[in-house]
Structure 1
Amino acid sequence: MKFNLEEIPFSTRGSYMVFSKLGKKFQGEEIQEGIYFRNVHGSAVSSLVARIVPQKNGQEIPYQYEASPQEVKIYDDEHCCRITWQDEKTVLLEGDLPFYFDFLAEGSSYTFAQPWKVGNRDFYLVNCFRGNSRYMIRSQKGSLQLKQKWREGNAEYSYLYVNGDAPYMLVLEENFEDWKDRGEDYDYTYAAQKQKQKFEEFYALMPSVPDKYQDAAEISAYVDWTGMVSPCGLLKREAMFMSKNWMCNVWSWDHCFNALALAYHCPKEAWDQFMVLFDFQKESGNIPDSVNDTKVIHNYCKPPIHGWTLRKLMKVMDLSVEQLKEAYEKLGRWTSWWLNYRDENGDGLCEYSHGNDSGWDNATAFDHLPPVTLPDLAAFLVLQMDVLSEVAEKLNEQADAKMWKNRANEMLNNMLDVLFENGQPVARAGFDMHKVENESLILYLPIVLGKRLPEGTRKELIQTLESDKFQTSYGLATESWHSKEYESDGYWRGPIWAPSTMLILDGLKECGEDTFVKDMTEKFCQLVQKSGCAENFNALTGEGLRDRAYTWTASVMLVMAHEYL
């Protein structure tokens, strides 16, 4: 398998280090084009550590590259440098292509390289303050030369040259906390073979998909595999970032879709993904918007799809009593938080205090000042309380089971009375609950309740979803493509997204709409086959948009292709 390094970073499971081919701008910063060594720890002001610059006689030269799960090759007509992973904290670079590391010291504070010695072994310690990271670089074979101008505690420039006069082998180790020389020499070929084997073993554990989508499945598996980071700092368990491009966090609904992709054959990893946000649950029951190894963001939250997720996990995993108890306690507190803290007018329906809380940040349903009351939130809570009732039954908590079922029924009735007009879902804003005119797909997410909805309501929702209001040649647009508010790259105002697609198709599947579900799943798999694991897609052209290596897109493709095809 080959992939585009301009879209998908080269990394390995567990690592916070990546290599990317970047253009002239990255995260709003003007940069030189090239292949960059990057750091995705959450403490980094900038993820850029160094640019790899192929050179001859000190002058940068043209080059090509090729990326696969086991290695990146950088080459010209005569020479080549290959990069692979010894382990999640150790990179190996082997070849005869002369190059230098530009550690981007110019204009930054406290970035420099210094000689370091352990016994008779020579290293360079690279201190990258903007990246809050340090690295040890050693030449196992060949020579290194530092060209650096030191001035008042900082390097004005810092270049580490790798001579290509003879074959070289470099070892680059992360020194994020404590580092000790392991005193080892490494075999590049063996390390690359092990990387290939590790990825293939992971890929074999992913959900099976139709043969025609094997290319999409393989790239999806790679995005998920490399998206995982080891416990570090605030993260106490292995976690899957949404991407190692720039969305280097775990958001509190994205993780649910990633848990589902792992559930079939990786139960421990699946449970870790499902529970990772609950490690940060407050006493009130709230779980944060997002986390990484150094930051917890509480400004927003995300929708309570965790009951929906738990129900799906229970279908494919054998959960222990201890796991059910853990999920029940945490899910109950999360549900109670919504009921206690997000029903400001006391009408029995919860509100979003910002579009970000819904996950649909800028959807047209939020065109009026919050609070905004939407039927999707009510539907998620109904489903979540239904699941809490089911789990309470399993745990022989009969009173709790009855209580959650009663509360679910009350909310369902409130949703149908207040958030539907003439069978169609509506958005309401403010404490006066005035109607917000919009043509957002978010209003139709209550189909996730399936046959829990009255037959007439189901039929109205199905009729709209299967019309051309949202449906395009590539899937379901998040804003009607007939709407004057539709934007081709408008985030939640038009593009096709993985989570909205899966939530809606899951509900339609329960309603018996098998033909439509299969057709939409085929379209989504074709999108990934064509445009990769993009954050979202142009609804009318299928072009991949925004972050191009997004794990929930990968996970949704794998799960839907397995479940629905």
Structure 2
Amino acid sequence: MLLDLSKVPFSTRGSYMALSWLGKEFQGEEIREGLYFRTVHGSAASSLLARIVPENEGKELKYDIEARPEEVLLKAEGKQCRIAWQDEKTLLFYGNLPFAFEVLTKDRPYTFAQPWKQGDREFYLINCFKGNSRYMLRCQQGELELEQEWKAQSAAGCRLHSKGEEYLIAVEENFEEWRDRGLVYDYHKAVENQKKALESFARSLPSVPEEYQEGAQIAAYVDWSGMVSPCGLLKRESMFMSKNWMCSVWSWDHCFNALALSYHCPKEAWDQFMVMFDFQKRSGNLPDSVNDCKVIHNYCKPPIHGWTLRKLMKNMELSREQITEAYEKLARWTLWWLDCRDENGDGLCEYTHGNDSGWDNSTAFRELPPVTLPDLAAFLVLQMDVLSDLAKSLGKYTDADLWKIQADQMLDRMLKTLFAEGKPLARAGLDMHVVENESLILYLPVILGKRLPADIRENLIHILESDKFKTEYGLATESPRSPEYESDGYWRGPIWAPSTMLILDGLKECGEEEFVREMTRRFCRLVQKSGCAENFDALTGEGLRDRAYTWTASVMLVMAHEYL
């Protein structure tokens, strides 16, 4: 399997480092095109640390690049530089193609390299202030030569050049507790170990039909390489949404990744599900996103955690301790919505911003929030149903009855207030006026399946299976007929993995299995065509935005396994 490093970064499970091929601009910064060494730590003001530059006597060379999950090859003038991971903290460079490790210093104060020695072993320490990171370079074979102009506090230009007929150079992440581990590197063994690690991980994921193996391979790599080890605020191994620039965990994205891990990796699945609950406030609220250094509380994400937990429990056995923990945290999360997000006291919760729904700029939020939507009520109904079941399993029978009563009451309010003549509505403001829109978000209540009255259920099914949202590639998030449809409009048109899975899961519960199979096939073909993009042009299938997104990978794997 070949990787396009302009779309999918070269990284490994657990690592906060990555290699990416970048053009002349990245996140608003003008740069030179090339292969970049990056950090994905959340504290970095810039993730760009150094450019890898093949050269001949100090002159840059044009070169070919060939990337696979286990190794990157740079080739020029009949020579090559091979790059592979020794482990999550160490990147190896091996070969005979001379190259420079060009540390970025422009607009990066306090960045420099300096010789370092521990015992009889020599290193170069690189301090990347804007990246809030430090690295040790060691030459096990060949030599390194430092070219740097020192300017009192910072380097003005900093390059480390490989020297010798053949080299083996290690770049190791270095925090204050760094100590030389005394390792002797075997490059070929490192490549083989990486290959075996990915193959083992891929085997642990849900199996998919043979015709979608190509998509499953890239999905496995995206999920595997997207994982980071416990560090800083993160106390569990966690799957970032991407190691391009979406380098965090969001409070609904993690649910889909937990599902992909739940078939054969119960510990990893549990950690991925619970990671956001590690940051739950006393009030019960979950943050919008977290990484190793930052927690964002300005927003939240929709309460799909009851839906997720129910599916997890079909795939993996939870201990009583885990069930108790899940019950307590899920109950607090649910009560936060009921207590803190019902501004007009009508018994229906509101979103205070599109970001809270996960559908940031959906046309359902075209007017100033708060906005009351039926998807939120449906998620809470389902979540309270799950809480009722959990309470029964724990012997909390009074609690079980109360959750069931609340679920039924919310369902009744949703049907009376957020549906008219069988059609779902968005209502904005405290006066609850109707917001006209053609967003797919209104049809998410289908997730309740046969919990819905037959007439409403049939109406949702009819519209979802019509041409209102359906395209050659799947379900658009805004009807292509809408005047507000945008081909690259984020939640105003493109196809997304989570909306696809939530809708199809509900339709499957309604018995619409053939339609679900066909839409799943379309989504799988979409991933095979355009990779694990954050979202996709609904009319062309082109991948959009971040092109190595883990929830896209996870949804493809789960749906291909469950629905085909």
The answer, yes or no, to whether TM exceeds 0.5 is yes
In the TM superposition, what is the alpha-carbon distance from 1:107 to its structure 2 partner?
2.2
How many angstroms does 1:522 deviate by? 0.1
Partner in structure 2 of residue 184 of structure 1: 183
Name the amino acid aligned to 1:461.
Answer: L
Q: Amino acid of the residue matched to residue 236 of structure 1?
A: K
Q: What do residues 203-227 of structure 1 show as CA deviations (whole Å, max 9, x unaligned)?
A: 0101000000001001000000000
Moved over 2 A (4+): none
User: In the alignment, is the contact (CA less than 8 A) between 1:535 and 1:545 conserved in 2?
Assistant: yes
Q: Does 1:37 align with 2:37?
A: yes
Residues in 1 aligned to 2:337 and 2:101: alpha-carbon distance in whole angstroms? 50
1:536-551 paired onto structure 2 within 5 Å: 536-551=535-550
Scaled by the length of structure 1, what TM-score is found?
A: 0.99
Within a 5 Å distance, the mapping from 1:216-295 to structure 2 comes to: 216-295=215-294
- Cα distance in 2 for partners of 1:390, 1:77 equals 67
1:365-387: CA deviations, max 9, x gaps?
Answer: 00000100000000000000000
Measured in 2, the distance between the counterparts of 1:77 and 1:143 equals 21
Q: Which runs of 5+ in 2 are unaligned?
A: none
Letter in 2 for 1:261: A
SS at match of 1:142: strand
Pairing of 1:437-476 with structure 2 (within 5 A) = 437-476=436-475
More displaced 10-residue stretch of structure 1: 476-485 or 74-83: 74-83
Q: Mapping of 1:384-399 within 5 angstroms?
A: 384-399=383-398
Contact 1:375 1:415 in 2 (8 A): yes
Partner SS, residue 176 of structure 1 = coil
Matched with 2:134 is 134
**What CA deviation, in whole Å up to 9, does each residue of 1:162-204 have, x standing for no partner?**
12x4010001110023111112211000011000000000001
1:338-375 deviation per Cα after TM superposition (whole angstroms, max 9, x unaligned): 00000000000000000000000000000000100000
Q: Secondary structure at the match of 2:160?
A: strand
Partner of 2:194: 195
Distance of 1:177 and 1:27 partners within structure 2: 29
Tell me the amino acid that sits aligned with residue 463 of structure 1. H
How far apart are the structure 2 equivalents of 1:386 and 1:37? 48
Cα distance in 2, alignment partners of residues 77 and 124 from structure 1: 28
Is 1:479 the counterpart of 2:478? The answer is yes
CA distance in 2, matches of 1:535, 1:117: 44
Q: How does 1:100-119 map to 2 (within 5 A)?
A: 100-119=100-119
Q: Is the 8 A contact 1:106 1:155 kept in 2?
A: no
Distance 1:284 1:204 in 2: 40
Q: How does 1:86-125 map to 2 (within 5 A)?
A: 86-125=86-125
Q: Which amino acid aligns with 2:536?
A: F
- State the alpha-carbon separation in 1 of the partners of residues 142 and 502 from structure 2: 55
CA distance in 2, matches of 1:177, 1:402: 54
1:183 & 1:378 partners in 2: Cα distance?
57
Letter aligned with residue 471 of structure 1? K
Q: Percent identity?
A: 71
The answer to whether the aligner puts 1:171 opposite 2:155 as a matched pair is no
1:383-428 Cα distance to aligned partner (Å, 9 max, x none): 0000000111111111000000000000000000000011000100
Q: Deviations over 1:250-293 (max 9, x none)?
A: 00000000000000000000000000000000000001000000
Pairing 1:530–2:513 present: no
Separation (CA, whole Å) in 2 of partners of 1:409 and 1:108: 58
Report SS of the residue matched to 1:143: strand
Counterpart residue identity of residue 484, structure 1: P
CA deviations 1:437-492 (Å, max 9, x no partner) are 00000000000000000000000000000000000000000000000000000000
1:36·1:49 contact (CA, 8 Å) conserved in 2? yes
* Structure 1 CA distance for aligned equivalents of residues 162 and 452 of structure 2: 66
Letter in 2 for 1:338: W
Give me the whole-angstrom Cα distance separating, in 2, the residues matched to 1:348 and 1:90.
54
Per-residue deviation, residues 86-145 of structure 1 (Å, max 9, x unmatched): 111011110011110111112211110000011221100000000000000010000111
TM-score by length of 2: 1.00
User: Which residue of the partner structure matches residue 78 of structure 2?
Assistant: 78
Q: Which residue of structure 1 aligns with residue 158 of structure 2?
A: 158
Task: Indicate the SS of the match to 2:165.
Answer: coil
C-alpha separation in 2, matches of 1:166 and 1:117: 24
How far apart are the structure 2 equivalents of 1:3 and 1:300? Answer: 34
SS in 2 for 1:485: coil
Q: Which moved more, 1:410-419 or 1:75-84?
A: 75-84
Native 8 Å contact 1:38 1:48 kept in 2? yes
- Aligned equivalents of 1:5 and 1:69: distance in 2? 10
Residues 308-345 of structure 1: CA deviation (Å, up to 9, x unaligned) = 00000011111111111000000000000000000000
Q: Distance in 1 between matches of 2:4 and 2:231?
A: 29
1:349–1:378 contact (8 Å) kept in structure 2:
yes
User: 1:107·1:156 contact (CA, 8 Å) conserved in 2?
Assistant: no
Report the CA distance between 1:514 and its aligned residue: 0.4
Aligned partners of 2:45, 2:176: CA distance in 1, in Å? 17
2:470 maps to 1:435: no
Task: Give the corresponding residue for 2:330.
Answer: 331
Aligned pair 1:370/2:369, yes or no? yes
2:8 maps to 8
Residue 394 of structure 1 aligns to which amino acid in structure 2?
S
Rounded Cα–Cα distance in structure 2 between residues aligned with 1:401 and 1:187: 58
Letter in 2 for 1:476: L
Secondary structure of the residue that 1:166 maps to in structure 2?
Answer: strand
Q: Which residue of 2 aligns with 1:503?
A: 502
8 A Cα contact 1:533 1:554, kept in partner: yes
2:526 aligned counterpart, secondary structure: helix
**How many Å separate the matches in 2 of 1:201 and 1:269?**
14
Deviation at 1:69, TM superposition (A): 1.3
**Letter of the structure 1 residue corresponding to residue 325 of structure 2:** E
Distance 1:90 1:58 in 2: 26
**Paired residue type of 2:75:** Y
Instruction: Output the amino acid matched with 1:116.
Output: W
Q: RMSD across aligned C-alpha pairs, in angstroms?
A: 0.6
Q: Which string of whole-angstrom CA distances, capped at 9 and with x for unpartnered residues, describes residues 8-52 of structure 1?
A: 100110000100011111111111100000000000000001000
Counterpart residue type for residue 114 of structure 1: Q
Q: What amino acid does structure 2 have at the position aligned with 1:408?
A: A
- Residues in 2 aligned to 1:540 and 1:469: alpha-carbon distance in whole angstroms: 13
C-alpha contact (below 8 Å) 1:150/1:156 kept by paired residues: yes
For the Cα contact (< 8 Å) 1:3–1:67, is it kept in 2? yes
Residues 69-78 or 342-351, more deviating: 69-78
Q: Is the Cα–Cα contact under 8 Å of residues 137 and 172 in structure 1 kept in the other structure? A: yes
CA distance in 2, matches of 1:481, 1:59: 51
Q: Which residue of 2 aligns with 1:52?
A: 52
d(CA) in 2 for partners of 1:416, 1:257: 28
Shift of the alpha carbon at 1:58? 1.2
Q: Distance in 1 between matches of 2:404 and 2:176?
A: 49
- Paired residue secondary structure (1:199): helix
